[in-house]
Chain A
Amino acid sequence: MSSIETRTKGEVTIRDLTKSFKIDGETLTVLRKVSLDIRGGESLAIVGASGSGKTTLLRVLAGLEEPDGGDVLIDGAPVHGLGRERAVIFQEPRLLLWLRVLGNVAFGLEVQGVDRAEAEERARRYIRLVGLTEFETAWPRQLSGGMAQRVGIARALTVQPEILLLDEPLGALDAMTKMTMQEELTRIWDEEKVTMVLVTHDLEEAIYLADRVLVLPKEKGGSVRLLDIDLPRPRDRNGARFVTFRKQLMAEFGLH
């Protein structure tokens, strides 16, 4: 499999991003002047303690939250609000229970104005990519957790975004399904050549999937740190360097 390919599309530039929330009159600054360049086609993982602002950062990138200050630029142009070049995969599959798998995967394209026949045609390709062809006509309630999550992934991929934003997409899955899905995500990312920004609290997942890992500070006011994972793919979770990276990341959180 290929290593980092630099693309011109799907590039994200974050400049001095600041975001705070008002809770009972008190201001809680979650992101303080965060700056970062995400390369086109890169796989970036964001890790950090609970409450460190991972979801907030991702939601700002998605356009679901307005930042208080700073800029987000995509391919050089500042963005405000939601945009079709970005797609979000949430922790829960968020499937529409009244649509079959095919309808759910085609949903994104359909709301973007693509007519049903074409949307379903294009959806089929991604259903195959996530390995659910035989379940095209199944209802969401007939799917396992991992299968449902794959439907959510296919739905996001079907709109062919430049940037895929994932918020703990495998967080609710059991350990074995999770590992399989991590392999699939690597394969999909490699095939689709999409920029991937993945929030996770699973350090091993970050090292397995990412080109670089962004560590959000535990203390407010601390600075973010970046870790380059220059391991060839497919990655061996038990390889010596993989283990070294894991120790290094754990040390960031004072773990051993």
Chain B
Amino acid sequence: MTYQIADDEERSGGRRFPWPNPGPRILSAARSGLADYGLLIAFFAGWQIASSVEWLNPAVFPPLDRVAYALYLGISSGALIDDIAISLQRSGIAFGAAIAFGIPLGLFMGQIRAVERALDPILQLFRQTSALAVYPVFILMMGLGEASKVFVIFWATLFPILLATIGGVKEVDAKLIEMARTFGASRLTTFRRVVLPASVPSIFVGLRLSATTALLLLIAAEMIGANKGVGFQVMNAQYNFQIPLMFAAIFLLAFLGLAANWVLILLQRRLCRWSPNTP
């Protein structure tokens, strides 16, 4: 007997239906595609029709072909590309810094009880204080330029990452640590081989939460005192009554969010194949 790992089967198994008479593959793929995306397609189709026959005010909800055309123009002229680049740069630097700072700090804090207990109240306070509420403070400190924009995103993404990492480390099963010790593992080895891998799924929960927050703060920061960026473009297009362009920018933002989440899920699947909580 040869044993095969049923991973991939298992993962998609929950979503596949046992059709009584499975047709050709393409047909069943189309069926499951329809089941997954049918409603979304219907939503877009409904929008397009409603706008074309003017059930919806096309000045507010332009037909999607005009939105697509605005998107095409923006991208082919390079104007939107610049906006995407600057938005990615702002959120990328902030998110990267939050990771580089939050994960090591969280790992350290989770390990050492006294540190964690001393810092917990202040962390809880900071976490509960909305980053948007303290954005004016950052503007006062750093001006309206790039620094305050990047910093407010960093601030907002830091806490989910930090708290998820601390939580992950604290929840590592003490019995596993004891097991490693019986084999003579040093503190460092135990950390590297047990505590760290056990915390990875929890860290990813924080990362995905942070990615959503990063986008939210990015848009907010770009709507205030910016002259570039996708978030700025939403405001600017609305101000200039370029409604198709406005929707193009909105869809771009949604797409950026989806892409970020998708990258994180792929990474998580690579690193946490073993975890039953991996999407």
Tell me which residues across on chain B come within 8 A of A135, comparing CB atoms: 3
- Stretch in A93-101, A228-236, A246-254 touching the partner: A93-101
Contact B183 A98 (CB under 8 A): no
Contact B274 A98 (CB under 8 A): yes
> In the complex, how many residues of chain A place their beta carbon closer than 8 angstroms to a beta carbon of chain B?
29
A91-128 to B contact mask, C-beta < 8 Å, 1/0: 01010111100000001101110000000000000000
> Which residues of chain A from 28 to 85 have any CB-CB distance to chain B below 8 Å in the complex?
62, 64, 82-84
A138 with B3: in contact, given A82-B184, A159-B183 (CB under 8 Å)?
Answer: yes
Tell me which residues across on chain B come within 8 A of A139, comparing CB atoms: 5, 7, 273-274
Distance to closest chain B CB from A161 (angstroms): 10
A87 with B183: in contact, given A94-B175, A96-B194, A138-B3 (CB under 8 Å)?
Answer: yes
Within 8 Å by CB of B198, from A98, A107, A112, A142, lies: A98
Within 8 Å by CB of A82, from B6, B182, B274, B275, lies: B182
Q: B272 at the A/B interface (Cβ < 8 Å)?
A: yes
Q: B86 at the A/B interface (Cβ < 8 Å)?
A: no
Distance to closest chain A CB from B171 (angstroms): 13
Q: B197 at the A/B interface (Cβ < 8 Å)?
A: yes
Tell me which residues across on chain B come within 8 A of A242, comparing CB atoms: none
Within 8 Å by CB of B183, from A90, A92, A107, A140, lies: A107
Contact B5 A111 (CB under 8 A): no
Contact B175 A96 (CB under 8 A): no
A134 with B185: in contact, given A90-B175, A96-B176, A98-B274 (CB under 8 Å)?
Answer: no
Whole-angstrom CA separation of A108 from B272 in the bound complex: 22
Tell me which residues across on chain A come within 8 A of B118, comparing CB atoms: none
Within 8 Å by CB of B184, from A96, A111, A134, A141, lies: A111
Q: A154 at the A/B interface (Cβ < 8 Å)?
A: no
Whole-angstrom CA separation of A62 from B179 in the bound complex: 11
Distance to closest chain A CB from B174 (angstroms): 11
> Which residues of chain A from 152 to 174 have any CB-CB distance to chain B below 8 Å in the complex?
159
Q: A244 at the A/B interface (Cβ < 8 Å)?
A: no
Contact B183 A111 (CB under 8 A): yes
Contact A111 B180 (CB under 8 A): yes
Q: Which residue of A lies closest to B186 (CB)?
A: A111
Contact A84 B274 (CB under 8 A): no
> Which residues of chain B from 131 to 151 have any CB-CB distance to chain A below 8 Å in the complex?
none
Contact A64 B182 (CB under 8 A): yes
A-B contact pairs, 11 of them (CB 8 A): A64-B181, A64-B182, A88-B179, A96-B197, A98-B197, A98-B198, A108-B183, A137-B3, A139-B273, A139-B274, A141-B274
Interface residues of A (CB under 8 A from B): 62, 64, 82-84, 86-88, 90, 92, 94, 96-99, 107-108, 110-112, 134-135, 137-142, 159
